[in-house]
Amino acid sequence: MTQALINPALMSWSRHRAGLSAAELAESITVKEDKVLAWEAGEARPTFRQAQQWADRLHIPFGFLFLKEPPHETLPLPDLRTVGSVAPLKPSLDLLDTVRDVLRKQEWYLDYLADQEPQPLPFVGRFSLSTPAGQVAADIRSVLGVLDVAAGQDQYLQALIAAADAAGILVMRSGIVGSNTHRKLDVGEFRGFAISDKFAPVVFINIADAPAARLFTLLHELAHIWIGSSGISSVAPSSHRQEEAYCNAVAGEFLVPEARFKALWRDTDDWQALLPVLAAAFHVSRLVIARRACDLGYISKEAYTEFYLIELSAYRNKKTDGGNFYRTVDGKNSKRFSRAVLSEALSGRLLLREAGKLLGIQPAKVRTYAEKTDE
């Protein structure tokens, strides 16, 4: 068998980059651990097939294994995350690949828009950090045109997403990398990110998070768009970055206005007993109310975090039926983006193969997906 003249240093780099031990990688490509270590030491070489398996398993282009030195990888968006007051560790491969995938979709959509003679969206970057948070929240509410949905938080979230889509914002949601169900996104690493652009702003929400927390994340990322800011967010109450704290304040003011909240809050040792009452009053979840109480200093960050982790654990333990496949695709890519891709594919201006890559579905399912969207 023909051996692949790969660079051993790139094999070692790619394995450590993916966070796998030699034993874990060896098991996944069905070779012995000693062979993996021998390849990395330059004492032996893999076959082309084995090298391709290596690249596939570690999510790198095959050509990377032939480079003279590892490529320098950085997040293509500002990293606004903090753990307390300390910057987080370097981004995971899952986060890097997710951001790149979203940027690739945005780039395609911008090319698509170029033929439509688009007008810049007036709300993108309309305000700055010096603008009162309540003013930004009021403007978001005015642009989206969505009032409180008394039917429940899920309907409220869907209504806000639909309104953002109608306004020209691509709202993408996923809890995995691309279509790979084995690569789950870590909500402890990031909750979402925003890409500010005058023609095609993007909001991404990590739906590995508890459903009750996604509403706050959506508003936080929309605040980023309104101040013309891009970045990866933790949306944590403990963020010490001015930009993140400001977007938290806008989200809180949008969902639970401070003046009304203060009028309804009652000092009590059993603060959790207040949550259902206030949740009903504002048509949001108990978690959003707890978050607002934390941000306004009524409960400690530790108390809120404990409550949040209980909610997150309950969500993860809840069994689901998997949902509707095509509705999931809509959520992952945003309805606006999906309709643009389908329009180009059905008109013959975009190959079904390329449409499938953009949407993360099999090319054979593109036409069926288009039919489902017309129902």
Q: What CATH number did the domain enclosing 22 receive?
A: 1.10.260.40
d(CA 367, CA 371): 6
Asked if residues 287 and 213 have their Cβ atoms less than 8 Å apart, the reply is yes
Q: Is 90 left (phi over 0), alpha (psi -120 to 50) or beta?
A: beta
Structure tokens at 101: 């995938």
What contacts 24+ positions apart, CB below 8 Å, involve 345-353? 345/370, 346/370
Asked if residues 45 and 1 have their Cβ atoms less than 8 Å apart, the reply is no
Classify residue 33: in a domain, yes or no. Answer: yes
Question: What is the arithmetic mean of pLDDT over 135-140?
Answer: 96
Residues of the chain above pLDDT 70, percent:
93
Classify residue 120: in a domain, yes or no. Answer: yes
Classify residue 78: in a domain, yes or no. Answer: no
Average pLDDT along the chain: 88
Per-residue pLDDT band at 322 (split at 50, 70, 90): low
- Compute and round to an integer the Cα radius of gyration of the chain: 23
With 90 as the cut, is the pLDDT of residue 105 above it?
A: yes
Domain ends where: 270, 300, 317? 317
Q: Note whether 58 and 145 are same-domain residues.
A: no
d(CA 272, CA 276): 8
Per-residue pLDDT band at 324 (split at 50, 70, 90): low
The residue segments making up the domain with residue 33 are 8-66
With 90 as the cut, is the pLDDT of residue 153 above it?
A: no
Q: Note whether 56 and 196 are same-domain residues.
A: no
Classify residue 76: in a domain, yes or no. Answer: no
Question: What is the arithmetic mean of pLDDT over 102-124?
Answer: 94
Q: Note whether 222 and 296 are same-domain residues.
A: yes
Classify residue 77: in a domain, yes or no. Answer: no
Phi, psi of 73 (to 5 degrees): -110, 130
Q: Note whether 199 and 294 are same-domain residues.
A: yes
Residue 89: per-residue pLDDT: 64
Q: Note whether 191 and 107 are same-domain residues.
A: yes
Q: Note whether 60 and 209 are same-domain residues.
A: no
Classify residue 3: in a domain, yes or no. Answer: no
Q: Note whether 122 and 208 are same-domain residues.
A: yes
CA atoms within 13 A on the CB side of 271: 17
Tell me the H-state helices in the chain: 8-18, 22-28, 33-41, 48-57, 93-114, 133-144, 153-167, 211-226, 242-255, 258-264, 275-282, 286-295, 301-317, 325-333, 335-346, 352-359, 366-373
pTM of the full structure: 0.85
With 70 as the cut, is the pLDDT of residue 85 above it?
A: no
* Torsion 351-182-232-284 (CA) sign: positive
d(CA 167, CA 121): 8
Per-residue pLDDT band at 107 (split at 50, 70, 90): very high
Domain ends where: 317, 340, 363? 317
Question: What is the arithmetic mean of pLDDT over 23-31?
Answer: 89
Asked if residues 231 and 257 have their Cβ atoms less than 8 Å apart, the reply is no
Dihedral of the alpha carbons of 180, 181, 183, 187, in degrees to the nearest 10: 130
Classify residue 84: in a domain, yes or no. Answer: no
Asked if residues 137 and 143 have their Cβ atoms less than 8 Å apart, the reply is no
Better-predicted residue by pLDDT, 90 or 311:
311
Asked if residues 308 and 149 have their Cβ atoms less than 8 Å apart, the reply is no
Residues 6+ apart with CB under 8 A from 108: 341, 358
Q: Note whether 293 and 365 are same-domain residues.
A: no
With 60 as the cut, is the pLDDT of residue 375 above it?
A: no
Residue 136: per-residue pLDDT: 97
Tens-digit pLDDT profile for residues 219-267:
999 999 999 999 998 777 877 788 998 999 999 999 999 999 999 998 8
d(CA 364, CA 245): 45
With 60 as the cut, is the pLDDT of residue 363 above it?
A: yes
Q: Note whether 147 and 172 are same-domain residues.
A: yes
Classify residue 148: in a domain, yes or no. Answer: yes
Distances (CA, A) of 49 to 25, 34, 53, 62, 180: 15, 18, 6, 11, 22
Domain ends where: 317, 342, 360? 317
Dihedral of the alpha carbons of 369, 371, 373, 375, in degrees to the nearest 10: -140
Asked if residues 11 and 62 have their Cβ atoms less than 8 Å apart, the reply is no
Residue 151: per-residue pLDDT: 59
Q: Note whether 218 and 331 are same-domain residues.
A: no
Tens-digit pLDDT profile for residues 172-229:
999 999 888 888 998 888 999 999 999 999 999 999 888 888 999 999 999 999 999 9
Question: What is the arithmetic mean of pLDDT over 1-18?
Answer: 85
Query: Among 64-78, 104-118, 156-170, 313-327, which stretch is predicted with the lowest mean pLDDT?
Result: 313-327
Q: Note whether 212 and 291 are same-domain residues.
A: yes
Per-residue pLDDT band at 87 (split at 50, 70, 90): low
CA 286 to chain centre: 23
Asked if residues 246 and 223 have their Cβ atoms less than 8 Å apart, the reply is yes
Residue 155: per-residue pLDDT: 84
Q: What is the DSSP letter of 91?
A: P
Residue 374: per-residue pLDDT: 62
Asked if residues 55 and 9 have their Cβ atoms less than 8 Å apart, the reply is no
Q: Note whether 354 and 236 are same-domain residues.
A: no
Asked if residues 16 and 58 have their Cβ atoms less than 8 Å apart, the reply is no
Domains: count for the chain: 3
